[in-house]
Amino acid sequence: MTHWKEIIRNADALISENKIAEAVVLMESALFENPDVALLHNNIGWAYLHHLEDPERAFVHLEYAAKIDPRLVSVRIHLATYWNHKGLYRLAETELRAALEGENPDRPYLLYLLARNYELMTEWNLATRTYKEALMETTVEWQFGEITNGLRRVRKKRLNALLPF
């Protein structure tokens, strides 16, 4: 019997070779012996959502992973992506807020995602405030650049919304 952690390592190797479907088959086979491993469901959901273009199947795995381990940050991020693709931005916001309460969250990154979510909702003030909060917390150069770009973009969108030409 192969341990599920080893299966995830093997699946990661397949993913790095761009063999996503094979990785999913491997992880799904591990579910027979390990049906309640949140990380397996999370990784399968990620693959279906981002690579195999099957968002409904992704949702089943991601939702189950969130039930098994509500503090798993990555599953909350993937669920937020799912809801954003559906245009259900308030549900995405709920997932991102849950991720902020998760285990070892990357707060600046999650705040950046939350600010992007507010942009999608055309909530310019919330987006601006959240980008600023992310900016105050980051120490990572690439995050600083992305957050700064987001802040500029929101300011421009807010100005365009106020002064239509």
Residue 165's pLDDT band, with cuts at 50, 70 and 90, is low
Q: What mean pLDDT comes out for the span 93-106?
A: 96
CA distance 39 to 47: 12
Q: What is the pTM of this model?
A: 0.91
Task: Check which CATH number belongs to the domain holding 16 and give it.
Answer: 1.25.40.10
Same domain, 87 and 112: no
Residues 72, 5 within the same domain? yes
- Using only C-alpha atoms, the chain has a radius of gyration, in whole angstroms, of 18
The answer, yes or no, to whether residue 1 has pLDDT greater than 90, is no
Across all residues in the chain, what is the average pLDDT? 94
Residues 85 and 16 occupy one common structural domain:
yes
Residue type, 38: A
Query: Cα dist. 165→120, 121, 131 in Å?
Result: 22, 22, 26
Residue 151 sits at the vertex; the CA angle it makes with 148 and 161, to the nearest 5 degrees, is 155
Q: Is 85 contained in some domain?
A: yes
CA dihedral 22, 26, 28, 32 (to 10 degrees): 160
Question: Crossing angle of helices 89-100/73-85, nearest 10°?
Answer: 170
In this structure, the answer to whether residues 85 and 140 fall within a common structural domain is no
Rounded to an integer, the average pLDDT of 96-121 is: 96
At 137 the pLDDT is 94
Residues 161 and 87 in one domain: no
Does one domain contain both 76 and 138? no
The reply to whether 4 and 85 lie within a common domain is yes
Domain that holds residue 165: 106-165
- Domain contains 44: yes
Give domain status of residue 115, yes or no.
yes
pLDDT tens digit sequence for 25-53? 999 999 999 999 999 999 999 999 999 99
Q: Using CA atoms, how far apart are residues 64 and 100, in angstroms rounded to an integer?
A: 19
The residue out of 91, 120, 155 marking a domain boundary is: 91
Tally of domains in the chain: 2
Lookup result for tokens 């999608």: 120
